[in-house]
């Protein structure tokens, strides 16, 4: 049954009609870590959409908490159709601001060790997150036009958190997957140990 | 009464069904300054929601204009549930970019005076905002999971201002309220004088 108001279709076939303004940011999938080795968003699996449906995808990190102390939070992409391996060539930048609770460190700088130049390793999103009970990280990653087969695939992120050294760190990451193949999946993990707790939400931007 | 279309529940119990695709960003409240000493968002007051309903809250500043002409900073603080005084403990970072209109100076630098190390002062969100008629600042602040009673409360902000010394300055501030108590009240003000005009809108991100 549809619902038509004043000549305009509001509802039909079990969904809000595409002509009705519903907001341009759509929650696609929420993954919640529970001693998880990694969290993956794979197009076509578990209701995840990561294709030409949206030109921009946004991933939100909410209180990601590691099992191990002083580890990197990092991610990689896949261009496989199945049996995904996460090994896309990337070139990236990374800079951050840091300030510790003891006020002995207050700095802004490029982090050469956390960028990548044409390598396939995981891209670091946060350096040295602590595993104290109240320690975690948050942030946002934007991935643009992942299904494009003409251009490289750009991403940019800002990630903040509580370091193992009792400091706040505000990190800016950007770069591109240097491939014209479509990116079909993203994988998030810690550099060592599990993601003990936390949530990653994936959105599509119309 | 519910409404079912093509076997899919659209409305039930007075609300859109949670399974329906709809916007993930919800406008909660807009406050408009009018020679206002402060603008405050308090959960449960004046239709403000600032609790576990959302994992991320986004504040957008639109053309905040100070009454003072000495270039005040926009600043903010929080109260934990049941607390008062806007004096939660903060550790934060602050860096800026700026460019003068006469091209005499342009730089990127860390601002030690804009950060806090376990301080309880209002946190700077912008640099010195000009008070002439056409001068203002705009930007945003994200506050993550304020209702958590496990983790510290992270925030990240970015704000662009027309400075009182005729240039653009962009402030990048981030950090955490170093408390595991839930945060339910946020207050904004200029470091001197009133917020003469402008709006702050609060959004919840599903």
* Model ipTM value: 0.90
Q: How many domains does chain B have?
A: 1
Give the mean model confidence (pLDDT) for residues B86-104: 97
Report phi then psi at A112, rounded to 5.
-60, -35
Residue A204 half-sphere exposure toward CB, CA atoms < 13 A: 20
At residue A12, the pLDDT reads: 77
Average pLDDT value for residue range B11-36: 82
Structure confidence at residue B8 (pLDDT):
73
Domains of chain A (ranges plus CATH)? Answer: 23-205 (2.60.120)
Q: Look at residue B86 and tell me if it is in a domain.
A: yes
Cβ of B113 under 8 Å from any chain A Cβ?
Answer: no
User: Angle at the Cα of B38 (from B34 to B40), degrees rounded to 5?
Assistant: 110
The residues in A 150-189 lying below 8 A from B, measured between CB atoms, are: 158, 160-162, 166-170
- Residue B81 included in any domain: yes
Of A65, A107, A139, nearest to B110 by CB-CB distance is A107
Interface check A134 vs B, CB under 8 A: yes
Residue A181, min C-alpha distance to chain B (Å):
29
Mean pLDDT of chain A: 95
A138 in B contact zone (CB under 8 Å): yes
User: Do the domain assignments include residue B4?
Assistant: no
pLDDT of residue B96: 97
- For B43, the domain range is 27-205
Cα separation, A202 vs A27, in Å, equals 6
Q: Is residue B167 part of a domain?
A: yes
Model pLDDT, residue B1? 63
Is B22 within a domain? no
CA distances from B174 to A69, A194, B5, B121, B124 (A): 22, 26, 46, 15, 10
Within a domain: residue B17?
no
**Does the pTM exceed 0.95?**
no
List of chain B residues whose C-beta atoms are within 8 Å of the C-beta of residue A106: 93, 110, 112, 115, 117
In a domain, B8, yes or no: no
Q: Is the pLDDT of residue A184 over 80?
A: yes
**pLDDT at site A17:** 74
Is B140 in contact with B128 (CB distance < 8 Å)?
no
Asked if A136's CB is within 8 angstroms of B110's CB, the reply is no
Indicate yes or no: CB of A60 within 8 angstroms of CB of B154. no
Query: Any residues with CB less than 8 A from the CB of B162 and at least 6 apart, and which?
Result: B129, B130, B134, B135, B136, B137, B168
Those of residues 64-123 in A touching chain B at CB distance below 8 A are 65, 97-103, 106-108
For range B75-89, the mean pLDDT:
98
Residues 89-108 of B with CB under 8 A from A: 91-95, 108
How many contacts does A have with B, using Cβ atoms within 8 A? 141
CA distances from B161 to B93, B98, B190, B200 (A): 18, 9, 13, 15
**Residue B6 within any structural domain of the chain:** no
Q: In this model, does residue B19 exceed pLDDT 90?
A: no
Chain B nearest CA to A51, separation (Å):
17
> Searching chain B, which residue's CA lies closest to the CA of residue A199?
B55
Distance of CA A11 to the CA centre of its chain: 33
Report the gap between the CA of A197 and the closest CA in chain B (Å): 11
Q: In this structure, what token pair is assigned to residue B102?
A: 């006469």
Give the residue from chain B lying closest to A3, CA to CA. Answer: B5
């Amino acid at each position: 049954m549809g619902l038509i108001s004043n000549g305009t279709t509001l509802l039909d076939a079990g969904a809000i009609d595409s002509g009705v303004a519903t907001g341009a940011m759509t929650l696609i999938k929420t993954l919640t870590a529970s001693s998880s080795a990694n969290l993956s968003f794979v197009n076509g699996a578990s209701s995840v959409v990561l294709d030409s449906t949206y030109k921009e995808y946004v991933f939100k990190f909410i209180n990601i908490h590691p099992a191990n102390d002083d580890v990197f939070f990092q991610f990689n992409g896949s261009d496989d159709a199945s049996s995904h391996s996460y090994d896309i060539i990337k070139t990236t930048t990374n800079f951050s601001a840091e300030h510790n609770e003891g006020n002995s460190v207050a700095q802004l700088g490029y982090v050469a060790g956390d960028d990548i130049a044409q390598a396939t390793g995981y891209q670091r999103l946060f350096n040295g997150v602590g595993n104290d009970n109240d320690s975690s990280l948050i942030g946002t990653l934007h991935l643009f036009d992942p299904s494009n087969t003409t251009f490289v695939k750009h991403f940019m992120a800002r990630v903040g958190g509580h370091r193992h050294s009792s400091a706040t760190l505000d990190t800016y990451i950007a770069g591109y997957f240097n491939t014209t193949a479509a990116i079909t999946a993203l994988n998030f993990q810690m550099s060592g140990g599990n993601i003990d707790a936390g949530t990653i939400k994936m959105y599509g931007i119309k | 009464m519910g409404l079912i279309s093509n076997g899919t529940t659209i409305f039930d119990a007075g609300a859109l069904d949670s399974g329906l695709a709809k916007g993930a960003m919800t406008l909660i409240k807009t406050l408009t300054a009018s020679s206002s000493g402060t603008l405050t968002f308090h959960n449960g007051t004046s239709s403000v929601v600032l609790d576990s309903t959302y994992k991320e809250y986004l504040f957008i500043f639109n053309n905040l204009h100070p009454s003072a002409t000495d270039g005040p900073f926009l600043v903010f603080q929080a109260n934990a549930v049941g607390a008062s005084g806007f004096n939660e403990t903060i550790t934060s970072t602050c860096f800026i970019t700026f460019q003068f209109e006469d091209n005499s100076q342009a730089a990127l630098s860390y601002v030690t005076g804009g950060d806090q190390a376990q301080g309880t002062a209002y946190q700077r969100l912008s640099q010195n905002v000009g008070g002439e008629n056409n001068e203002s600042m705009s930007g945003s602040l994200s506050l993550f999971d304020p209702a958590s009673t496990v983790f510290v409360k992270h925030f990240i902000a970015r704000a662009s201002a027309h400075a009182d010394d005729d240039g653009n300055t962009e402030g990048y501030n981030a950090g955490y309220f170093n408390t595991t108590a839930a945060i339910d009240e946020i207050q904004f003000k200029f470091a001197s004088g009133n917020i003469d005009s402008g709006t702050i809108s609060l959004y919840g991100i599903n």
